[in-house]
Structures are given as structure tokens and as C-alpha cells.
Amino acid sequence: MKNVGNGITDYTEKIGRQTIAGVEEIGNGGFLLLESFYWLFVGPKLKQPVRFGAVIAQMMEIGINAIPLIAMMAGTIGAMMAMQSIYMLRIFGAESQVTYGVAFSVVREFAPLITGILVAGRSGSALAARLGTMKISQEIDALKVMGINPVRYLVVPALLGMVVMVPALTIFNMMVGMLCAGLYINADLGISLAAYSEQVIDILSVGDVIHGVGKSVLFAVLIALIGVINGASVTGGAEGVGKVTTRAVVQAISAIIVTDMLFAFMATR
């Protein structure tokens, strides 16, 4: 009985510790965001500006280099959406209404979600691994002793790069996804691309696009902060870097999905 009691105590203690650690991480994220704003706006006055070149480098890495992957996934998902929608609507004999399903799904939901997940897997993990490696090899300490604030030098460029490029990739995702869906619909139902485009423009409002792009900005902030917090919490050498990298990806994708649901709930009230 004593062992069972100890087991329950240990388990409860573990849950308590993890809860406290989770709350602490959320607090760290908020503080990190505030500190990033501080360096972005106050840094130039202190003659410690965020380097434009570093932001461009991050934008290239996060955005431009991800274009082939995003294009491939957006095209595949767009075509898949068209296939599934036609299959489902055929039951009711309403295949011609397929554009409704595809347009809303891709623009409001799939483009931001898939882009967020891909960027989290590709760039969020890279950010966590980079910061983790820099921490264990004392490169972060080296920045500090040189009087270079690591948040200004490393975090703000990554955050800005994400906030600019994730929405840009989302818009790109929307366009490629809609195009590939249109091509499939044209091939399957014989609806011309011109008619399809006209339908899409009629169906979608600016608000739908803002809905999709707006949440992609939130996803960008989440990916950057989760990557940085995990990278900065690394302990134990190369194995530790692997752990925080995996953790960053899992946390970022989970956070994106939960945020997406909350955003959808609030935006559809």
C-alpha cells in the first residue's frame, strides 16, 4: 500500500511540476515578446538596432527557401480538397457547388494551417536547434560578453522573418491551392478555369482572406517564441539539442492547432 501511495504522490508531484513549468514557459514567451518589441523600437535609440541584413537572411531562410515545399503541399491539398468535395457533393447531386467548399476550406482553414505546420517543422525546429547549439557551445555567452543582446541579435530577426513570411507563404499557399483545385475541377467536372475563378471571386470576401492571413500572423509568433524558448532551455549537449528540437516542433504544431480552433470559434460567433 505504501508503494501505491508513493506512486500517486510522485505522479501528482510530477503533474504539479509540469504545470508550473508550463505556466513559467508561457510567462517567458510573453516576456520574450515584450523584450523583442523593446529592442525593435528602442534599440535604434540606444545605437543597438536590429540588423536589417539579419532580418532579410531569416526571411530568405523561412520564406523563400520554403516556396517549393509549400507549393507542392498546397497543390496536393488543393487537388485533394476538390476530389473529396466532388465525391461528397455527388451524393446530393450538387457537384457544381464544389467551389464553395474548396474556396472556404482552403482560404479560411487549410492554407494557414498547413503553412503554419510546415514552417513549424522546417523553421521552428531549425531555430530551436540553432539556439540550442549556440547555447551549449557558449556562443550565446560570447554574445552577452561582447555586449550584444541575444534577443536583439538572434530572436528579433527570426520573429520578424516569421511574421512577414508566414502570412506571405499563406497567401501563396491559398493561390496555389485554389489553382490546383481549379485544375482538378476543370478536368473532372469540365468547369472552365475562367468560370471557376469568377465563382471563387464571388464566393470569397476580403474578410475570408483576412481571417486566413490574420491567424497565420498568430501562428508565426507562436512558432518563433516556442522555437526560441525551447532552444534557450537546452541542457546536456547534443542529445539535449535533439530533445528541444523535437519538443519545439510538437509544441508549435499543438499550439497552432489549438489557436486555430479558438480563432475559428471566435471569428464565427
Partner 1 sequence: MNGEPKTVIEVEDLVTHYGGRKILDGVSMNVTEGEIMVIMGGSGSGKSTLLRYMMALERQTSGTIKLLDQDIGKLNQQEMFGLRKKIGVAFQGGALFSSMTVGENIMLPLYEHAHLDMMTMEIMARMKLEVVDLAGFEDLMPAELSGGMIKRAAFARAVIMDPKLLFCDEPSAGLDPVVASALDDLILKLRDALQMTVVVVTHELDSVFKIADRVTVLDRGHILFIGTVEELRNNKSERIQNLLNRRPEDETIDPDEYLRRLTGEEETGGDATL
* Under 8 Å between Cβ of 160 and 55: yes
Which residue of 147, 190, 265, 268 would you call a contact of partner 1, by CB under 8 A?
Answer: 147
When binding is defined by CB under 8 A, the residue of 28, 33, 40, 48 that contacts partner 1 is 48
Smallest distance, partner 1 to C-beta of residue 142, A: 4
Instruction: Output the smallest distance, CB 126 to partner 1, in A.
Output: 12
Among 18, 138, 235, 254, contact with partner 1 (rule: CB under 8 A): 138
Shorter beta-carbon distance to partner 1: residue 122 or 211: 122
Contact between residue 224 and residue 162 where contact means Cβ atoms under 8 Å apart: yes
Using CB under 8 A as the binding rule, whether residue 21 contacts partner 1 is answered as no
CB of 132 to partner 1, least distance (A): 13
Q: Which of 6, 18, 65, 137 binds partner 1 (CB under 8 A)?
A: 137
Please tell me what DSSP assigns to residue 236: S
User: Taking each helix axis from N to C terminus, what angle separates 237-267 and 125-136, rounded to the nearest 10 degrees?
Assistant: 150
Q: What is the DSSP letter of 179?
A: H
Interface with partner 1 by CB under 8 A: which range of 26-34, 46-54, 70-78, 112-120?
46-54
Using alpha carbons only, give the angle 180, 186, 187 rounded to the nearest 5 degrees: 95
Angle at 206 between CA 111 and CA 102, to 5 degrees: 40
| Element at 12 (helix H, strand E) | helix 2-41
Report the interface residues with partner 1, using CB under 8 A.
46-48, 133-134, 137-139, 141-142, 144-148
